[in-house]
Structures are given as C-alpha cells and as structure tokens.
Amino acid sequence: MSHYVWSCPVCKASNLTSSGECSACGCQAQASQQEVESRRAAFEGSSAGGIPNRVRMALGILAVVGGALGIVVVGWQMSLTPPFFVSRFLVFLFAVAYVFSIWCGIAMLRRKPGWLRFNLILWGAQVLSIATPVVSYSFSSGALFGIWAQFSPIRAGVHTWIGSRFELVFWRDAPVVLGLNLFALAITVYLAKKALHRAAVLDRGRAQ
C-alpha cells in the first residue's frame, strides 16, 4: 500500500494525495506548466543553495572519501581496542558517523532532499575537539586544519591532517586541550549561510 500519490514536478518530493500543495517547496498540485517551469528554475537555483557546482562536487567527494577512509581507520582501531563492550561501542559509533559522512557526500552530489541540513550536521560535528581527564572527543572526515591550545603547561599550535581520525575516550589522565578545526568551521559557516538563504527563497516561494 502506498500513500504517495503525486510527485512534485518542481522538486520531485513525494506528497500525500490529501495535500494540494507540495510539502517541500509549496508548489500547487494543479500548477500550470508555465508556473512549474518558473518554480523549477527558482528551485534549482535554491536547491543548489547558490553553491557553485564545483564546490558542491568537491565537498561531496570529500565527504565520501573521508567516510571511506574513516571506516578503514575504525576497522584498524577496532583491532587495537581491548575487547570491552564499552570501548568497542565507542569506536563503533564512529563507524556510524563515517557511514553518515558517505551518505552526506552522496546526498550532496545527487542533491537529495535534506542534503544541506545533513552536511551541516556532518561539518558542525567536526568543528570542536576537546581533551580533558573526563572526556576526550574529536572527529574529522577527510581533512583537518585547525589550531589547538593546551592550558597547563600552556602550549598552542597548528594541526593539519589529511585523512580521517576520531576519538571518544572517558577517564584518561590527560592535559586539557581545546581544538578548533578552522577548515570544518569555514565549511559549516558557508553551508549555514546557504541554508538560511535557501530557507528564505523557499519561504518566498510558499508566500506567492
């Protein structure tokens, strides 16, 4: 039994019969051909979020490659992790994160619904890293360029990494270190701006 009865001619979203307009882009089910075409032109522009194709391809490929490398690293880490359920589970979480990275990359390359939001989550999760005696966390997929600061003794530096790396550890005797991945921050801010712009365009489309 299928609840989907019409596919939006503008954004391809599936909609319920009962709704007269597309839940994703606001296009009327009964829109004229002319209206569909003008909406489609606006939607293509906004669904790319104004992101140039070259940038979208590069970020998509980076997320896919980063995710694939991440899964290799997870496999390798798993072989080094003591066979305790909690330790292995923490490593396993990153397998999920890297599968998510691959999925985000594919969604971005193919402009699947929600790709902008999901890529925001992917890059947002990579912005901050922290090491403390209680919890240490870092996650990067594909590449990292950032700065870090340690508090006692005071030290700071620049950190670059090509590839994928991650850490989630509790209760470890370690100095407090904060890291800021500038590369992920720049992409997060860029995507967030595009997402806001896109939301504004779609709102305008709905209001028409």
Q: Which is nearer to Zn ion, 24 or 131 (CB)?
A: 24
Q: Which is nearer to Zn ion, 8 or 187 (CB)?
A: 8
Q: Which is nearer to Zn ion, 72 or 199 (CB)?
A: 199
Least separation in angstroms between CB 32 and Zn ion: 15
Find the binder of Zn ion among 6, 13, 113, 168 (CB under 5 A): 13
- Is residue 202 within the footprint of Zn ion (CB under 5 A)? no
Find the binder of Zn ion among 2, 6, 21, 25 (CB under 5 A): 25
Least separation in angstroms between CB 47 and Zn ion: 10
- Is residue 120 within the footprint of Zn ion (CB under 5 A)? no
Give the interface segment with Zn ion, choosing from 25-33, 52-60, 140-148, 174-182 (CB under 5 A).
Answer: 25-33
CA distances from 186 to 41, 183, 204, 205 (A): 28, 5, 27, 29
Find the binder of Zn ion among 3, 19, 22, 99 (CB under 5 A): 22
- Is residue 24 within the footprint of Zn ion (CB under 5 A)? yes
CA distances from 177 to 43, 139, 156 (A): 44, 15, 9
Find the binder of Zn ion among 14, 18, 27, 192 (CB under 5 A): 27
**Residues of this chain that bind Zn ion (CB under 5 A):** 8, 10-11, 13, 22, 24-25, 27
